[in-house]
Amino acid sequence: MVRHLYKAAGAGLVLYALIAGLMTELPVMGPMGQSNRNIFYHVPMWFAVVVMMGVSVFNSIRYLRMTDPDYERSGAGNDLALTDIKASESAKTGVLFNILGLVTGMVWSRVTWSSHLPANRFDAWWIWDPIQICALVSLLIYLAYFLLRSTFQDEEQKAKISSVYNIFAFVTLIPLYFIIPKMLPGAHPTAANSDAGGGSFVMAGKLGGDFSIIFWPSIIGFILMGYWVYELQMRTAAVSLTLSEEE
Amino acid sequence: MLNEIKAVLYKEVVLEWKQKYALNGLLLYVACMIVVITLSFMDKAQVINLSPLTWSVLFWLILLFVAIHVVAKSFIGEQDGQLLYLYGLANPVAVFLAKMLYNSVLLIIIGMISGFFYLLLTQQNVQNTGLFLLTIASGGFALAANMTLVSAIASKAENKNVLLAVLSFPLTIPVLINVIKLTRQALEGFTLADNLNRVLMVTGIGIVLSLVSLILFPFIWRD
């Protein structure tokens, strides 16, 4: 029962964010107008991405520790396969949220960022903002991870080598997500040239009270929903692995 | 450990010197690229429209492909048996470290040679030579630190050469964004003090990635 509680909590919080985020009267911030409500849906996607990639790299590290001869192995070989499945499925969920974050960002940017373009263009689906670029690059990195996985025939070798790549990729993700976007000028409020001051990744202090009581629950809700998606995927993959072993 | 690293480094240098085709091939490749680039910006015997930004982008694209060739030689180029023999003679981590050091030194040297000729042929002036050289040094080191482990990873898979490019290009972007900006600043005469955080960032990425590679390499050399 307790195991399933987080799913109810996630669904409830996301539902709350959907209803309250659209219904509450909020102060209008600068040129964004009413589109600033997207902060309740676009930003949480990236929190979910970071959490999912964290789960993935955690499982990759665990996998490598389990294959180490010095490590006292408690489980059987099946545990190893499950850890690899956890690493790859959480990366898959992370990629899903990465795409969702890009799409919600594109919709938002079309409404608010047209002022960054020449006067005769209003279709700001994509303006090569630093954070957009970094998000796209992180997507490429994880697509490369899945390409690497698909080239191996041997399961154990696949698991081990893709774990190594996953950890290495996660290390380069840190400058991509947390350092470079703050160094370069761009349209996001975190950029170096922003009117909002920039620098801080979450503008918690600058959001009014009405914003934060929807914003933070929404982040927690989307992270929990992401974990739910991951758990479903992971269990499906584990079942199909067991079935293919029995055949 | 230190002696082993020295021995492997010595072996790499001697091999490179004996089979000059690899090094000469790279230099010739760089020369061809530079001539092609210069010619395509040529109008009435003058290089036009080659802004410092375009110059730096093309320069680092050349070096990126040089890096791919240099790095591919260190693990993909060697036969499996040879590498295993090497791991038997010396600590695998020492072999890896030596190869990474060798890659970065080779990349930095080729970077400086090609930078010199590229500047000469395109008639660009570097206003801040120190920053320019520092950028090539830190960028070459960071690229080598980034790609050497990826080359070891790709050497285990099928379709090695394509995989090396696909796996390493996205990972090099944080380095490339910064070194392109730095090269441009050096051409336009900005000082080191203006760009210290970028230099530190590129070097920092290189150091962190090489340390992570050293931790991770023991897991993949065996099979």
Average pLDDT, chain B: 87
Domain-located, residue A243: no
**pLDDT category, B107, cuts 50, 70, 90?**
very high
Chain A's closest residue to B174, CA to CA, is A176
Which residues does A103 contact at the CB level (< 8 Å), separation at least 6?
none
Predicted confidence band of residue A221 (pLDDT cuts 50, 70, 90): very high
DSSP letter string over chain B?
-HHHHHHHHHHHHHHHHHSHHHHHHHHHHHHHHHHHHHHHTEETTEE-S--HHHHHHHHHHHHHHHHHHHHHHHHTSS-HHHHHHHHHHS-HHHHHHHHHHHHHHHHHHHHHHHHHHHHHHHT---S-HHHHHHHHHHHHHHHHHHHHHHHHHHTTSSSHHHHHHHHHHHHHHHHHHHHHHHHHHHHHT--TGGGHHHHHHHHHHHHHHHHHHHHHHHHHS--
Phi, psi of A17 (to 5 degrees): -65, -35
Among the ranges A107-116, A221-230, B34-43, B148-157, which has the highest mean pLDDT value? A221-230
| pLDDT of A199 over the 50 cut | no
Please give the C-alpha separations between residue A129 and each of A133, A140, B132, B140, in angstroms, as whole numbers: 6, 17, 27, 27
DSSP annotation string for A136-200: HHHHHHHHHHHHHHHT-SSHHHHHHHHHHHHHHHHHHHHIIIIIHHHHS--SSTTSTT-TT----
Question: For residues A88 and A240, what is the distance between their CA atoms, to the nearest angstrom?
Answer: 14
Residue B105 has a pLDDT of 92
Distance from CA of A4 to the nearest CA of B (A): 36
The proportion of chain B whose per-residue pLDDT surpasses 70, expressed as a percent, equals 99
How close A118 comes to chain B (CA, Å)? 21
What's the average model confidence in pLDDT over A147-158? 88
A236-246: pLDDT as tens digits = 999 998 888 87
**Domain annotation covers residue A147:** yes
pLDDT of A230 above 60: yes
Contacts of B158 in chain A (CB under 8 A): 151-152
The residues, any chain, with a CB within 8 Å of residue A1's CB and separated by 6 or more, are: none
* B222 touches A at CB < 8 Å: no
**Cα separation, B166 vs B175, whole angstroms:** 16
Return the pLDDT at B30: 92
Is pLDDT of B44 > 80?
no
Q: Is B200 on the interface with A (CB under 8 A)?
A: no
In a domain, A1, yes or no: no
Q: A160 touching B, CB under 8 A?
A: yes
CB B52 within 8 A of CB B124: yes
Average pLDDT over chain A reads 82
Whole-number Å distance between alpha carbons of A193 and A185: 5
Asked if the model's pLDDT at residue A70 lies above 80, the reply is: no
Residue A244 lies in a domain: no
More confident position, B196 or B222: B196
- B158 and A160 within 8 Å at the Cβ level: the answer is no
A194 lies in some domain: yes
- Indicate whether A154 pLDDT > 60: yes
A167 domain residue, yes or no: yes
Predicted confidence at residue A201, as pLDDT, reads 41
Q: Quick check: B3 pLDDT over 90?
A: no
Q: Which of B9-23, B83-97, B102-116, B119-133 has the highest mean pLDDT?
A: B102-116
Instruction: Answer whether B171's CB lies under 8 Å from B153's CB.
Output: no
pLDDT score of A195 more than 80:
no
- Quote the CA–CA distance of B36 and B29 in Å, as a whole number: 11
Q: Which residues in chain B are contacts of A128 at CB distance < 8 A? A: none
Pick the closest to residue A244 from A79, A81, A73, A60 (CA basis).
A81
Predicted confidence at residue A204, as pLDDT, reads 43
| Residue corresponding to tokens 């850890």 | A83
- B39 pLDDT tier (thresholds 50, 70, 90): confident
Q: What is the DSSP letter of A114?
A: G
- B201 lies within 8 A of chain A by CB: yes
Q: What is the pLDDT of residues A13-37, one digit of tens each?
A: 999 989 988 888 877 766 667 777 8
* Structural domain that includes position A120: 6-24+33-238
Identify the pLDDT of residue B206. 93
Rounded to 5 degrees, what angle do the CA atoms A26, A30, A31 make? 110
Instruction: Go through chain B and tell me how many residues it has.
Output: 223
Nearest to B206 by CA among A93, A108, A218, A172: A172
How would residue A77 be classed by pLDDT, with cut points 50, 70 and 90?
A: low
Confirm whether A245 is domain-assigned: no
Q: Of the candidates A9, A8, A5, A15, which has an alpha carbon nearest to the alpha carbon of residue A214? A: A15
Contacts of B213 in chain A (CB under 8 A): 168
Contact A164 B174 (CB under 8 A): no
Q: Structure tokens of B104? A: 């970065």
The rounded distance, in Å, linking the Cα atoms of B197 and B155 is 35
Pick from A164, A176, A184: which is nearest to B216 by CB? Answer: A164
At A245, the amino acid letter reads: E
Query: Are residues B223 and A160, on separate chains, in Cβ contact within 8 Å?
Result: yes
| CB distance A159 to B220 below 8 Å | no
* pLDDT at B137 (0 to 100): 94
C-alpha span between B144 and B159 (Å, rounded): 21
* Each residue's pLDDT tens digit, A97-152: 999 999 998 888 877 776 656 655 556 677 777 888 889 999 999 999 999 999 98
Least confident of A24-33, A165-174, B77-86: A24-33
Side-chain half-sphere CA neighbours of A213 within 13 A: 7
Checking if the pLDDT of A58 tops 90, the result is yes
Per the structure, the count of domains in chain A is: 1
- Domain membership of residue A158 (yes or no) is yes
Q: Compute the Cα dihedral for B130, B133, B137, B142 and give only its sign.
A: positive
Which pLDDT score, from 0 to 100, does residue B160 have? Answer: 83
The two three-digit tokens of residue A15, written as one number? 């539902």
**Does the structure show a pLDDT above 60 at A76?**
no
A183 to B171: CB separation less than 8 angstroms, yes or no: no
CB contact under 8 A, B153 and A160: no
**Residue A21 contacts residue A104 (beta carbons within 8 Å):** no
Q: Of B153, B166, B201, which has the smallest distance from its Cβ to A161's Cβ? A: B153
A69 interfaces chain B, CB cutoff of 8 Å: no
SS3 state at A202: coil
Say how far apart CA A168 and CA B147 lie, in whole Å.
11
pLDDT at A227: 93
Following DSSP, what letter does each residue of B98-117 receive, concatenated?
Answer: HHHHHHHHHHHHHHHHHHHH
B135-190 per-position pLDDT tens digit: 999 999 999 999 999 999 988 887 788 888 889 998 998 899 899 999 999 988 88
Identity of the residue in B163, B173, B219 whose CB atom sits nearest the CB atom of A137:
B173
Q: Is the pLDDT assigned to residue B73 strictly greater than 70?
A: yes
Among A158-162, A173-177, A231-235, B170-174, the least confident range? A173-177
